[in-house]
């Protein structure tokens, strides 16, 4: 059995707005939207990985809040787990630094106006359970 590799994602909020990030790579994902995040490195806690990934990808400082119920399969051996998070008061605004070419703050009415990656659709749907 292959060991699972956890990919973490942030439901990053500013008030009631959720941050969406449009993928620029790899080609099969480019143009679709996701919750930002990345892979957990060996020996790293998922929450610490999420803070690190958001710093690398978006240049922001964040606080991880609550785990979103559930986990979602990606291409084997990867699985997606999500947490809610918020920007720290002294954090700069997010910028698309790695793997993304556009960011959008979506209001609750706008959440479904972007073409989310399939697993992110499920994770966003699970946010209502928090």
User: pTM here?
Assistant: 0.93
Domains in the chain, number: 1
Over residues 53-77, the pLDDT tens digits come to 999 999 999 999 999 999 999 999 9
Is 25 a residue whose pLDDT tops 90? no
Nearest to 58 by CA among 28, 88, 16, 78: 88
Q: Which domain holds residue 78?
A: 5-129
Is 97 a residue whose pLDDT tops 80? yes
Cβ neighbors of 77 (< 8 A, separation 6 or more) are 2, 3, 4, 5
Is 1 a residue whose pLDDT tops 70? no
Distance from C-alpha of 109 to C-alpha of 84, rounded to nearest angstrom: 18
Contact 83, 10 (CB under 8 A): yes
Q: What mean pLDDT comes out for the span 32-52?
A: 97
Q: What mean pLDDT comes out for the span 113-127?
A: 94
pLDDT confidence of residue 7: 97
CATH for 27: 3.90.79.10
Cβ neighbors of 129 (< 8 A, separation 6 or more) are 68, 69
């Amino acid at each position: 059995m292959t060991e699972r590799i956890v990919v973490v994602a942030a439901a990053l909020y500013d008030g009631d707005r959720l941050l969406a990030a449009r993928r620029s790579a790899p080609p099969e994902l480019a143009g679709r939207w996701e919750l930002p995040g990345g892979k957990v490195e060996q020996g790293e806690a998922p929450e610490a990985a999420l803070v690190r990934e958001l710093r690398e990808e978006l240049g922001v400082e964040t606080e991880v809040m609550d785990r979103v119920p559930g986990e979602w399969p990606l291409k084997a051996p990867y699985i997606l787990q999500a947490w809610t998070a918020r920007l720290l008061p002294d954090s700069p605004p997010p910028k698309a630094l790695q793997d993304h070419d556009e960011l959008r703050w979506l209001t609750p009415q706008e959440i479904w106006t972007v073409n989310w990656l399939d697993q992110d659709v499920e994770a966003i749907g699970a946010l209502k359970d928090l």
